[in-house]
Structure 1
């Protein structure tokens, strides 16, 4: 399979996938609001459901698996770094992240971590240039959650992932952030660090994003039980020294992109890719609309990327251009 060359101004985009059916995969470009036929080989047919994991793609015909970075510059080829083949595609709703940069000597050891969906307690990990994936079963204990019938106990799982400074992070509880590191022998080590969430987790969609070497959490607050209305959007830096979230008013010339039925959140340079700076682009899985929020002012724009296209086989997913 040849490396993809993606024309401007396609990226960043939302991908409408149809599972290889007669309807062709469609891209919605965020910068100009145009729908285009997909010319990205890695996103066509059966590859789409793994490409949406972020940086991991697999060819079901050959089992070849690779890290896939969309190109930063228009008309240039995407980066593809071989990793050990997957015996089978990861389950839908798996989450994936990587630490280190396999393309640079300064990137250090590149570890790829895959967490199976919330009903599972299985992690898979490998090293770029390694020979096999390793399976790891974890136990994070249980938590009580409120259900219509009362309270119920359920297992804690890794259902979000972000990497920062060679470690992986996930929400563990309202008072702790989960950390996954690797020992010198290459074995996973799961721990937690105190991180006060306060009431931030109530009625909010949350996304963890690394920006400038710091972890941030994006909160999309809803109006009570009305999930179609957004009350506020906040970006908070995770201050591990103070063990609390600190709200920020600016992320500079960046745009955060998140949502659309998954826990994925990322960012890209704004002006360079035709986006509004210091903003959050959030795709709602409830009303299928793209909400654009100015982080400092709080102004909101609403777009309808699903209008005029066939209903995809799954919620649209994000593809974001590579950046340092």
Structure 2
């Protein structure tokens, strides 16, 4: 039996809505913009799997009561983990602090609603730890359910050189480290306008680690919140504590998706366009490719795509 996946990776996975005939997402070719027929990625489901930017897929197999990291290209390439509790939100963001074969690697799940994270240290922990964090409060305007403040949640987040960086913005970047318990701190941004963040309006932000450097993708929307009129990429200069506009991304391709997913891959190795940002708009059945240098953007329809609740990039595991 062939133990390797016949699905060309990288590809797109469209997660089907509740009540669909199958628990498997629909897979789409990036190059052909159409469905991949007859292929399957082990462990990938609509409800019990989380994709990481390193390519590994976190799988909670309810039938066998096991949880593991799955290489999407190799059925036998798995890393066993403690079994994940059932009450972890399916839309959580999943990250690895480093390559999962390295000592001390942390698997982190950040829930999208509230202030809950789940984590475990590969090979060291016998169970997942649930942690309710407190990184400050923010104003609710207008008030909700009689409350005018709420705890600040972690939003956009990326792992870089063993640490997790989150909520990068005008004034600071949050930092999460495990030693072995979670410790939160922050880095002040010096002169953010010089750093390139003097932007106004509605935006989607994504943090991306690429070759041990930290980047942020900023997508600016028109007032309709549907049309993107500008995509800018920033690189963090940790010595100057500034975000600097990136004119290129070293021949890489950045791939971003909802739930704060951001990844980087060699464009040549993955058959993608160099120095471009790939964005999924699953509910509208297309993806977008934007050139970092000049902002030129192309939209690509996903031919005969089903109705879906979201989409994700399935990437090859980086072995180097």
Residue 41 in 1 paired to residue 37 in 2? no
- Aligned-residue offset at 1:277: 0.8
Confirm or deny: 8 A CA contact 1:267 1:320 kept in the other structure.
no
Residue 123 in 1 paired to residue 117 in 2? yes
- Aligned-residue offset at 1:228: 2.4
**Matches of 2:2 and 2:158 in 1, distance apart?**
26
| Secondary structure, aligned partner of 1:315 | strand
Instruction: Find the counterpart in structure 2 of residue 175 from structure 1.
Output: 171
**Matches of 2:202 and 2:151 in 1, distance apart?**
21
Confirm or deny: 8 A CA contact 2:50 2:93 kept in the other structure.
no
Which residue of the other structure, out of 171, 186, 191, is the alignment partner of 1:192? 186
Once the two structures are superposed, what CA deviation does each residue of 1:189-233 show, in whole Å capped at 9, x if it has no partner? Answer: 11111125543474111100001111100111122x132222111
Residue 319 in 1 paired to residue 320 in 2? no
**Matches of 1:320 and 1:53 in 2, distance apart?**
9
Instruction: Find the counterpart in structure 2 of residue 219 from structure 1.
Output: 218
More contact order relative to length (CA 8 Å, sep ≥ 6): 2
| Secondary structure, aligned partner of 2:43 | helix
- Aligned-residue offset at 1:293: 0.7
Judged with a 3 Å threshold, the aligned counterparts in structure 2 of structure 1 residues 235 and 321 are, in CA distance, closer, same or farther, namely: same
- Aligned-residue offset at 1:177: 0.7
Number of residue-to-residue matches in the alignment: 306
TM-score by length of 1: 0.84
| Secondary structure, aligned partner of 2:227 | strand
Q: 5+ residue gaps in structure 1?
A: none
Confirm or deny: 8 A CA contact 1:3 1:79 kept in the other structure.
no
Judged with a 3 Å threshold, the aligned counterparts in structure 2 of structure 1 residues 158 and 26 are, in CA distance, closer, same or farther, namely: same
Q: 5+ residue gaps in structure 2?
A: none
Judged with a 3 Å threshold, the aligned counterparts in structure 2 of structure 1 residues 308 and 253 are, in CA distance, closer, same or farther, namely: same
RMSD of equivalent CA atoms:
2.7
Structure 1: which 4+ aligned runs deviate by more than 6 Å? none
Instruction: Find the counterpart in structure 2 of residue 244 from structure 1.
Output: 242
Confirm or deny: 8 A CA contact 2:206 2:262 kept in the other structure.
yes
